[in-house]
Structure 1
């Protein structure tokens, strides 16, 4: 396991200059006379973000949000993640334990694997360490003492995907989960299955080991095998951009391109180009950049003013299809990675 850490900081003068130029928009409306130079940046330990692997385009966008906001608000922070996804269920609790042992000023946590991580978050909040949950942990933050949650509503994301496919005439849909054990992605499949079954369609649920979560060939072969064993499948919903392309390759390999409707959660440039070409029908964008950016903004306002959002801040889903994919591609060409694509 390798730990990735990144630290960003700029001066309070630079942030105020950005505000004067109008670059900060509404994000600086609560700063008043205070600037980042007045922040209690050196009083205690660091702000630590325990977040997802950067080998996934999605989390590169989350990190970019963290980085941009840390520069804007003048906060030091460190981004911590695994680079080897083979043992995430055990490695993430270990990373979180290490972060807590450093007595951080604040923790920004993606609660990917609650069995190992939730007890540690409870320990941290009981010890007085403020915790804000992002991306995963929507239903858990209240019970573990966290300040709130910034991220998608995973059930609704999956449910909307199921509605789209059912409305398009899909009769038997496959939901492919590459991260079993993560309740957020599992909730997407639950929502998808519920919507499909309520519409009278059948569903198939498939998982693959997390060690293959970034292995396109392994996922392609797994989906291909399921398509061959279930020739009635006419819809596939994946939970990340990488398996979406694997699903497309699998459909092509079994000679059913154009017959199987493919939709996915999350974006990549390859997925966006496939949507533009009509090979993938849609992607559900949970706007990962906002998850990172808003987490740092909330940390700044909490540590300085005691302010924080109450409850959940929902960042998705936003549906990307042929009606708006051109604009999404344009934005990503100008601001590389912001839309969760690479």
Structure 2
């Protein structure tokens, strides 16, 4: 069943409301009065940008990132900034395979970390490990993917975008642009969030949608697969990639195939912003990965030091937002420094 406009409007309002609350929280956190932790809650050191006076804790982030995915560099940048502010030792590890990701979670538990941030791209593979962390008294925050599984696994909450809503937004945008046949490129087979994105596109788009699975960790092979598909199906007039690095691969594949399809993508990086500016990419969907990393560390720190839970345990949405060439002037300086 299609999501109604009322539902999407309500979710958009929730995103805006959350953003206002989080902005207030950030301002309050940066205006520390220099005192130590007390019954009034954690307070930051005064002046000089020093870390919080709260006891140093160790937080591990374990994601499903594959090699070379710049999206996760941005997530880590946000997490590291929050860690420096919150007096946190930040540990990062990743594996694209669910079984290995679960083993990394187990290793973090054995290290007796005080918090875990984890993605749920393959919830069936990592769910038991997440439950084990929660049972051990380690607060867990999920980010980016698999948000619908977060609460059942005992996590404090989920930070990211609603993937189905994001996909629907793309489908609606493609319809407005008059597209008729879309190729949706899935760069990691079995990733539930990527599948939700393509399903959302298909649900809202007035034309036809075909999925293409590629080997996302092998960019030359990815480019070749997309190029071959565009050569075989000349009626494809739009290609949607689900990660910023794959937009550039698709632009190359388009040139090699002689296709006239529009290239659009989820996620931003400096290369995508440059392509938006040159109109090699039509639009991008920004889910603010820096914010996902930053808020995840902050939520665990707040929970450990003050018993807080962002969003009352409900998902905290960081997107989606459609970004086009007109938005480039406001974004270039941030993507250039690796925070958007």
Structures share fold, TM-score greater than 0.5: yes
**Which residue does 2:120 correspond to in 1?**
111
Query: Is 1:53–1:59's contact at 8 Å kept on the other side of the alignment?
Result: no
**Which residue does 2:324 correspond to in 1?**
321
**Which residue does 2:4 correspond to in 1?**
none
**Which residue does 1:57 correspond to in 2?**
70
Displacement after TM superposition at 1:268 (Å): 2.1
Displacement after TM superposition at 1:127 (Å): 2.7
1:129-159 alpha-carbon deviations (Å, 9 max, x no partner): 2111111121011111110001111111111
Count of residue correspondences: 299
| 1:69 corresponds to 2:69 | no
1:4-57 alpha-carbon deviations (Å, 9 max, x no partner): xxxxxxxxxxxxxxxxxxxx6344469866336642436xxx321113357311
**Which residue does 1:264 correspond to in 2?**
265
1:48 to 45, 51, 60: 60
1:137 to 146, 154, 162: 146
**Which residue does 1:92 correspond to in 2?**
101
2:174 to 165, 169, 179: 165
- Calculate the TM-score normalised by the size of structure 1: 0.82
| 1:202 corresponds to 2:203 | no
For 1:318 and 1:54, the matched residues in 2 are separated by 26
Query: Is 2:86–2:301's contact at 8 Å kept on the other side of the alignment?
Result: yes
Structure 2 segments unaligned to the other structure (5+ residues): 1-25, 45-50
- Calculate the TM-score normalised by the size of structure 2: 0.83
1:279-322 alpha-carbon deviations (Å, 9 max, x no partner): 11011111000001111111111000111112111001122101
Structure 1 segments unaligned to the other structure (5+ residues): 1-23
For 1:289 and 1:278, the matched residues in 2 are separated by 25
Write the mapping of 1:205-224 to structure 2, written as runs, cut at 5 A. 205-208=211-214, 212-224=215-227
For 2:150 and 2:31, the matched residues in 1 are separated by 27
**Which residue does 1:230 correspond to in 2?**
233
For 2:136 and 2:127, the matched residues in 1 are separated by 14
1:247 to 237, 250, 263: 250
**Which residue does 1:6 correspond to in 2?**
none
Root mean square deviation, CA, Å: 1.9
Alpha carbons of structure 1 residues 276 and 108: separation in structure 2 relative to 1, 3 Å:
same
1:59-98 alpha-carbon deviations (Å, 9 max, x no partner): 101000011111112222211224xx5xx23321221121
**Which residue does 1:15 correspond to in 2?**
none
